[in-house]
Amino acid sequence: MQFFTIMRIVGILVMSFSFTMLVPAFVALIYDDGGGRAFLEAFLLNFTVGAVLWWFCRKHKNELRSREGFLIVVLFWVVLGSLGAVPFILLEKPDLNFSESVFESFSGLTTTGATVITGLDTLPKAMLFYRQFLQWLGGMGIIVLAIAIIPMIGLGKLYRAEMPGPLKDQKMRPRFAETSKMLWQIYLTLTVLCAFAFWLAGMTPFDAISHSFATISIGGFSTHDASIGYFNSSAINYITVAFLLISSCNFGLHFALFDQLKDRNNKRKQSIFSRLYWQDYEFRSFVFIQLALFVTCVVVLSFYNYFDDPKTTFEQALFQSVSISTTAGFTTTDFSSWSSFLPILLVLASFIGGCAGSTGGGLKVIRVLLLYLQANREIHRFVHPNTVKPIKLGKHVFSERIEEGIWAFFAAYLFVFLVCWLAVIACGMEPFDGFNAVVASLNNLGPALGSVSSNFTQVPDAAKWVLTIAMVCGRLEVFTLLVILSPVFWKD
């Protein structure tokens, strides 16, 4: 294990991350409402930690193997989440203890959106911006950003460990740095378009930029206690829904679209735009799931006359079904009080989440689709035991290795969920509240039902640490974290 090489790379990454503290410090300078000094102190502390790690290991530049890549990813998220808590600790407003500060930092970085802070409308703009900025950085993955801007430190091995879903095995470009740059160009373009749309719909420039960060990253943090409901705007609600759906799609599809549109010799750009996504089975399944949830919400809310008019029913059903199922967690109304089984349905839908290779959480649509196909095959085998029926989508046949991996991932996900659920109950939470807290954390959802329907202030500090681990497991898709806990990982 190349420990010194690992420490050198982590040091460089931490130094790079420390410069993000200067952005909220600049925001504090603009609005002059406090917080600037705390972020400058945080910058100096984080930069010093990174510089020390780099200095003592600067001569170690050995080539990384895959397992070192996994260890760097886990170490980086743990170190980054811990150092990201420094501003929360230093600032007097909000007044958070150590556990709450770490929880808030990891919640932002993992794009979970669970918060222990109340009174957001009165907080300094620098703090509000920092929370949103953390989510935006964590959305695509700071490791991938580092691959794009610091290709000379040899981080190609990290790509497979950090990227979610099929992107880790998809060679969209021969060089990792080029792939990462393209992904971040797409990510930044969507963020700018989202912010511009919010501004045109009536948000202030500060709110528009802040909420575009949380929307494209599918994070769910807001600068107001009432979340998106603060604006009371149908236009803003529909804009949020549109960009949440875009961000929930596999970024590999966005990559292919941008790549084809950049090809000036391609004469079929319109057909590519209209057919590229629909040819993808995961995308079609995702659309079907969203439509099914939306229609179910409309029918049930209309049956119980929960809202006064059909227009409000349509809008609220669309917004909340998309927001919760994609694991964003924005709210415009208290969906936990909705009629019948809808609240539980939406929370359980977060287990599916977005498409693989998106900024959403959950199991991912492609895995759920493959689980369904495998279950359907096993039923067929019961009737026809001697039939050979491979799992395939269209013309693509999945190998037994992929099928085994899907079930292994599902089992690991369920195992982590049950362990965390028992742990938070042991920490003093009620079983129902603990269930919802773990669902919200492991699926990177944010709000759920019960005592965590709006914030996590009532969660015991010990349980916050358990939920923080669940957030990291969800963000790294379980296996990346579990693999370093395996004894075989440490054997040469």
Query: Does 149 belong to an annotated binding site?
Result: no
DSSP symbols for 313-355: HHHHHHHHHHHHHTT----SS-GGG-STTHHHHHHHHTTT-S-
Query: Does 345 belong to an annotated binding site?
Result: no
Query: Does 305 belong to an annotated binding site?
Result: no
Query: Does 111 belong to an annotated binding site?
Result: yes
Query: Does 112 belong to an annotated binding site?
Result: yes
DSSP symbols for 349-413: HTTT-S-TTSS--SS-HHHHHHHHHHHHHHHHHHHSTT-----EETTEEPPHHHHHHHHHHHHHH
As a whole number of angstroms, the distance between CA 248 and CA 355 comes to 6
CB 437 within 8 A of CB 425: no
As a whole number of angstroms, the distance between CA 456 and CA 329 comes to 13
36-57 vs 125-140: helix crossing angle, rounded to 10 = 40
DSSP symbols for 58-110: TT--PPPPHHHHHHHHHHHHHHHHHHTTHHHHH-SSS---HHHHHHHHHHHHT
CB 210 within 8 A of CB 128: yes
- Cα 141 to the center of its chain, rounded Å: 9
Which tokens go with 169?
């095995």
As a whole number of angstroms, the distance between CA 314 and CA 295 comes to 9
Query: Does 328 belong to an annotated binding site?
Result: yes
Collapsing DSSP to helix, strand or coil, 447 comes out as: coil
As a whole number of angstroms, the distance between CA 203 and CA 222 comes to 13
Query: Does 219 belong to an annotated binding site?
Result: yes
Collapsing DSSP to helix, strand or coil, 237 comes out as: helix
Which tokens go with 7?
């420490």
Q: Where are the beta strands (DSSP E) in 149-232?
A: none
The one-character DSSP state at 248 is T
Which tokens go with 49?
């930690």
Collapsing DSSP to helix, strand or coil, 216 comes out as: helix
Query: Does 228 belong to an annotated binding site?
Result: no
Which helix H or strand E contains 106, and what residues bound it? helix 98-109
Q: Write the single-letter amino acid at 85.
A: A
Buried b (16+ CB within 10 A) or exposed e, 250-270: bbbbbbbbbeeeeeeeeeeee
CB 405 within 8 A of CB 371: no
Residues within the annotated binding site? 111-112, 218-219, 327-328, 444-445
Residues within the annotated binding site for K(+)? 111-112, 218-219, 327-328, 444-445
